[in-house]
Amino acid sequence: MHSDTDLAIIIPFPDPVLERASDQLEQVAGDELISTVTGADVQPAIDGFWLDELADGLSESAWMELDLTPRLPAGLLAALRNEVAILDKTEAMSRAGIGRGTDLVKDRSVRRDKIAWLDGYSEPQRLLFECFEQIREGLNRRLYLGLKRFEAHYATYHPGDFYKRHLDSFRGRASRVVSLVLYLNEDWGLEDGGELRVFAAADSGQVVGQVRPEAGRAVLFLSEQVPHEVLPARRTRYSIACWFRQDEVPLPL
Ligand SMILES: O=C(O)CCC(=O)C(=O)O
Ligand SMILES: [Fe+2]
């Protein structure tokens, strides 16, 4: 049993020397990039009632599982999965780090995924960012969180990869406040492992949920309060992690 205080604070960090993922996409993808969502499909189905549900979930239990499929333009999940599968073959995906202030390390005993930051330039990313923006505004209006912006990265977990139990942010740092993880994997079975295990906010030893990373499924939680871990994946697992932040310019985490 662990107390809240011995939790590692594990935070991925952007690597400024990496090329932007969209440059990599343009260079490598060519015809592999599927054309995405057009015309009438581009109507985000995010409404006030749904945003009420998100706000209630966060304020009542600090975390919730969601199905984003009906909220996203048709074809968007497939287009995002296609992007990350292409990026996964390039230098754009790099080993994720864990960090605390300036003690940034890439510790393979804690996390083994690879990440690439989204920049919103490709059409699928632009559409996804529109949805994230609506969620940001909706949560601010309902919970007065003062979320100023969001950041998001793709993550790939190859067979055997995991991410040990952690929190996404320091308490009271006013940086990462709300985490949203969106999964992109088709036909993810129980035998594929890679579930997100969620622990009670108050007692980090108690498991309160286990989420299968099936395409369209998502998890929303308070970054400073909800410990979680990614169990070892048995096939390649694709996701997008997004953090809504209170700071306007990046503060040291
Ligand atoms: O992919 C997931 O299910 C969670 C990933 C995570 O916890 C993180 O990137 O901080
Ligand atoms: Fe996390």
Q: Please tell me which residue, 169 or 34, carries the higher pLDDT value.
A: 169
Q: Is the pLDDT of residue 40 over 60?
A: no
Tell me, in angstroms, the distance from the centre of ligand 2 to residue 221's CA: 10
CATH for 4-14+23-30+46-228+237-245 (3.10.129.10, 3.40.50.300, 2.60.120.620, 2.60.40.10): 2.60.120.620
Return the pLDDT at 146. 94
Q: Going by CA atoms, what residue is nearest to atom 8 of ligand 1?
A: 241
| pTM metric for this prediction | 0.85
Domain ranges of the chain: 4-14+23-30+46-228+237-245
Taking only the tens place, the pLDDT of each residue in 74-85 is 999 999 999 999
What is the number of other CB atoms lying within 10 angstroms of the CB of residue 129? Answer: 18
- C-alpha distances in Å from residue 111, one per residue of 4, 107, 150, 195: 19, 7, 22, 14
Q: Which atom of ligand 1 is nearest to the CA of 115?
A: 9
pLDDT digits (tens, 9 = 90+) for 132-174: 999 999 999 999 999 999 999 999 999 999 999 999 987 766 6
Q: What is the pLDDT of residue 123?
A: 95
Between 136 and 250, the higher pLDDT residue:
136
Rounded-to-integer distance, Cα 124 and Cα 49, Å:
25
Ligand 1 contacts (CB < 6 A) are 12, 155, 163, 168, 181, 196, 228, 230, 239, 241
Using the atom order of ligand 1, give the atom closest to the CA of residue 153: 9
